[in-house]
Structure 1
């Protein structure tokens, strides 16, 4: 019996020894593992696995969900708003104009003292800071040279007076300078030639002047179209070329504010909306002056306070009126009549003569004198301008080489 018991014990000992020397089980490649930098081990939901510091699987799941929520909220759009909003400003302009609503005693007062009736008018718009020292871009119809006082409100609640460095009615742009010795947040321009139809666009500003705290309002849409031209209104001196169209809501008070892409770059200046004559509100057709044109205009406003061409085309023109057509038996076509040509200028050199009718500059059909002036601004000295003309019933093209304006 003793021998039998000894044999059993030996067998058990061998069995335990064999178990302790087994090959390790293969690792499942799909299973989560933990290394020094990879975070906690993940197990099936519902299991309360924990590490030495008490970090559970449920903690990992919660952290995952929080991260997903954070990522869904902090998008390119919100980051662009965060980047541009501090440099977006509200502009309050005060003007003194003749006329206005008369009081009961005005007629009596004017009869004896010959005093003109003057009233103060206030209006609001938007703008954005483009330099650390406080240069502000806005529309000319927001702040023009008749402004008596201009106040700039920043998003931090501070207010400063500003002065006009220059304004251009034709381009509908103005450049202001904040009167303060401090550093300001500012935005950067993007390349409007690279704007894509369908990409995100953000209109930022102060619609209807509602927000006294100067926190800007943000509307989001897409770029609906580019290179939109508008037939000039003969009653208005402004000409809008190559405009960016967006469906981001733009309302009164947004004028002058930035149109921004998802990278936080200014691609245009919000300027006007089109209502189709059926509504006074926004119907999804907003338009912004492209940033490349804005930069070109404000560079001149910053240096000289006005915009001028570096070349002189060397000709004078007039609009084709009904009376002019009848008097000189001219063809009834839209365009401009050349009335005189300087023999020392580019127009003469390319063969243009008095009596020619300018139909197009480049691919643009000329609508008015102001339109022609705006089209001329698209060219610089050294460029060649292609002009389509009508002479004695025949169409032809002239290529006008633009040389620098002679020193006066």
Structure 2
């Protein structure tokens, strides 16, 4: 009897604790009731939706329903001439044949009248582009413009109805750990949705173009290129571009061009017909423990200015070697990707408030961005600049840098022959533009010799070692 009384008392006490805990936590005024603030909230200007600590607390259905109808299948048909020497040798014909190649990817409708954004590599060299909507309707697409550097292309279709489209969000407001959806057409399927989180921002993969990716663990596979990365409200925060994989299929991470960069490129193409690039006019590198130790400074984050470009906005504003850029407007700068990603959203003549660290003190310096065509660099007494549209047309080139002037005393006697020549490669590395060349030359010592391949004013290829 005594044992029964003890058990009854314990049961009664346990029930009271459970009931009290429920009242405290879940009742009308409890901690987890609807009358209290959620534990975790998302960025107010981009998400506006409460996000819990697990996927079960997030409703992906609204964002998925909005997005799947705005993501399209992109079919790229290209025709190339191939040579068959065997047919030519034995039969005297068939030496050249037309071969059709088909590539596929995804795209995102960004306006009700049929503008579509995708990756440049999805439509590169296309003879025909066909768009298939999620409702299976197909249309021929016109290529409006491309930016190979940032891997963005703008297409246009003329549909017989107003189309659903995805609105742009502010990608600068995206937070690491936020839930996102990747929507695309992998393996030629209709719109497919996968979910994940933002794993990192301003990710630098050391490509020759994009230096500031959004990294996510949402599954992305072949065919997803050009598809949408959206937040939980179905707003566009990035264009899925590439995966990091030894096999070519998804293994854990994927990367997207931030929506702010993509939107700026699209607006430039629509307004100017090409991309308007603004530059700050500084060269250098991001700080870390090793670099800071070599430079003898304590700051381990930021962009260290090693050289200021002549006649640039940075020079006119008084930026100098040794300054450390730690902020651009309201965006912190810890890495080169932070700096380049933000500048890529700006145009020539835009004003940027640059916060620098000089002599241990923060200073804010307003800088008006210069036009990218005026960007130049100097090495071994050669001043180099980007080639213009006239040079590209004259020599049938889509890359290269021009020798603007010569101050090298050993080369002065050859100034007339060298000035104006277009450098094609340096040490067998393709000289795509000044930014590529600057990065390459920053790794060289003045005492090191370099091999330069160039094309002269007569269209002849010449090679020199300096």
When normalised by structure 1's length, the TM-score is 0.59
What's the CA shift for 1:143?
1.7
Q: Give the superposition deviation at 1:349.
A: 2.2
Larger radius of gyration: 1
Deviation of the 1:231 alpha carbon? 3.7
Q: Secondary structure at the match of 1:269?
A: strand
CA change 1:265–1:314 in 2 (3 A) is: closer
1:105 equivalent in alignment to 2:87: yes
Match of 1:377 among 340, 344, 350: 344
Q: 1:312 to 1:202 in 2, by over 3 A?
A: closer
* Unmatched 5+ stretches in structure 1: 1-72, 320-330, 390-396
Q: CA contact under 8 A between 1:249 and 1:284: conserved in structure 2?
A: yes
State the Cα deviation string for residues 49-95 of structure 1 (Å, max 9, x = none): xxxxxxxxxxxxxxxxxxxxxxxx9x831222221111110000112
Count how many residue pairs are aligned between Structure 1 and Structure 2.
291
* 2:237 counterpart (252, 261, 267): 267
Q: Which residues of 2 match residues 72-111 of structure 1 at below 5 A?
A: 76-99=59-82, 102=84, 104-106=86-88
Spell out, residue by residue over 1:190-219, the C-alpha distance to the aligned partner (whole angstroms, 9 max, x if none).
23233233332221111122x3xxx21122
Hey, what's the Cα distance between the residues in 2 that align with 1:270 and 1:286? 8
Instruction: Quote the Cα distance in structure 1 between the aligned partners of 2:175 and 2:72.
Output: 27
3-state SS in 1 of match to 2:146: strand
What secondary structure is seen at the aligned counterpart in 2 of 1:156?
Answer: coil
Q: Find the counterpart in structure 2 of residue 349 from structure 1.
A: 316
* Aligned equivalents of 1:404, 1:229: Cα separation in 2: 25
1:201 to 159, 166, 180: 180
Provide the residue aligned with 1:186 in structure 2. Answer: 165
TM-score w.r.t. structure 2 length?
0.53
Q: 2:194 aligns with which of 186, 203, 219?
A: 219
Alignment of 1:274-285 (within 5 A): 274-275=244-245, 277=246, 279-285=247-253
Query: Structure 2 vs 1, CA of residues 374 and 199 (structure 1 numbering), >3 Å: closer, same or farther?
Result: closer
Question: Whose strand fraction is larger, Structure 1's or Structure 2's?
Answer: 2
Query: In the TM superposition, what is the alpha-carbon distance from 1:352 to its structure 2 partner?
Result: 7.0
- Aligned residues of 1:359 and 1:366 also touching (Cα < 8 A): no
Q: What does the per-residue CA deviation read over 1:22-63, in whole Å, with 9 as the maximum and x for residues that have no partner? A: xxxxxxxxxxxxxxxxxxxxxxxxxxxxxxxxxxxxxxxxxx
CA shift digits 1:118-143 (9 cap, x unpaired): 53221000011111100001111112
User: Deviation string for 1:308-347 (max 9, x for gaps)?
Assistant: 13x56679x899xxxxxxxxxxx9xx999869723xx424
* Structure 2, unpaired ranges of 5+: 1-55, 286-294, 296-302, 328-332, 375-466
- CA distance in 2 between counterparts of 1:405 and 1:230 reads 23
- CA–CA distance in 2 between the matches of 1:206 and 1:167? 21
1:76 partner SS: coil
Q: Shift of the alpha carbon at 1:113? A: 7.9
Q: Which has the higher contact order (CA 8 A, sep 6+)?
A: 1
Report the CA distance shift for 1:191/1:351 in structure 2 as closer, same or farther (over 3 A): closer
Q: Structure 1 stretch 290-299 or stretch 156-165: which is displaced more?
A: 290-299
- Aligned-partner Cα distance in 1 for 2:118–2:233: 21
| Deviations 1:134-172 (CA, angstroms, capped at 9, x unpaired) | 00011111123x321100001111100011111111111
Q: Please state how far the C-alpha of 1:274 moved relative to its aligned partner.
A: 1.0
What's the counterpart of residue 149 of structure 1?
A: 128
CA pair 349-206 structure 1, distance change in 2 beyond 3 A:
same
Aligned to 2:154, what secondary structure does the other structure show? strand
CA distance in 1, matches of 2:71, 2:249: 23
Assess, with a 3 A threshold, how the Cα gap between structure 1 residues 318 and 244 changes in structure 2: closer, same or farther: closer
Shift of 1:298: 1.2
Q: Residues 157 and 351 from structure 1, CA distance in 2 versus in 1: closer, same or farther, beyond 3 angstroms?
A: same
